[in-house]
């Protein structure tokens, strides 16, 4: 088990950076998919062997990007779940401190 947080650290514990990062990851995944889909479709008007090679390459690249984007979305979901869990734990700790102080106890920084 790692180091135990102090009361001050718990009070200032903000998992918002995880939620913000998760949102950026989701946006990034969607942008990648959109751009690679647009690229693949932009080659539809070409003719010839080079055009066919470019289309196949674009389709393959898009498939790879979709796989990576899916993994980025999974990471995003994990980050969001982690942020929610941290927020729940923080709330529980602060509620317990409030109840203890309301009952006349003094809660020190090290609990």
Spatial distance between the Cα atoms of 105 and 111, rounded to a whole number of angstroms: 11
| Count of Cβ atoms closer than 10 Å to residue 40 Cβ | 19
Query: What is the rounded distance in angstroms from the CA atom of residue 31 to the CA atom of residue 64?
Result: 14
- Distance of alpha carbon 33 from alpha carbon 77, whole angstroms: 18
Considering only CA atoms, which of 21, 36, 37 is closest in space to residue 73? 21
What are the tokens at 62? 């898009």
Q: Which residues of the chain have pLDDT under 70?
A: 1
Per-residue pLDDT at 12:
94
What are the pLDDT digits (tens) for 86-98?
999 999 999 999 9
Predicted local confidence at residue 1, as pLDDT: 66
């Amino acid at each position: 088990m790692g180091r135990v947080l102090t009361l001050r650290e718990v009070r200032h514990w903000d998992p918002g950076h995880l939620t913000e990062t998760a949102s950026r990851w989701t946006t990034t995944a969607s942008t990648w998919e959109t751009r690679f889909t647009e690229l693949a479709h932009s080659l539809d008007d070409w003719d010839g062997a080079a055009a066919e090679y470019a289309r196949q390459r674009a389709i393959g690249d898009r498939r790879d990007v979709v796989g990576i984007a899916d993994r980025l979305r999974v990471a995003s979901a994990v980050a969001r779940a982690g942020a929610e869990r941290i927020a729940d734990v923080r709330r529980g700790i602060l509620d317990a401190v409030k109840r203890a102080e309301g009952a006349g106890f003094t809660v020190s920084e090290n609990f």
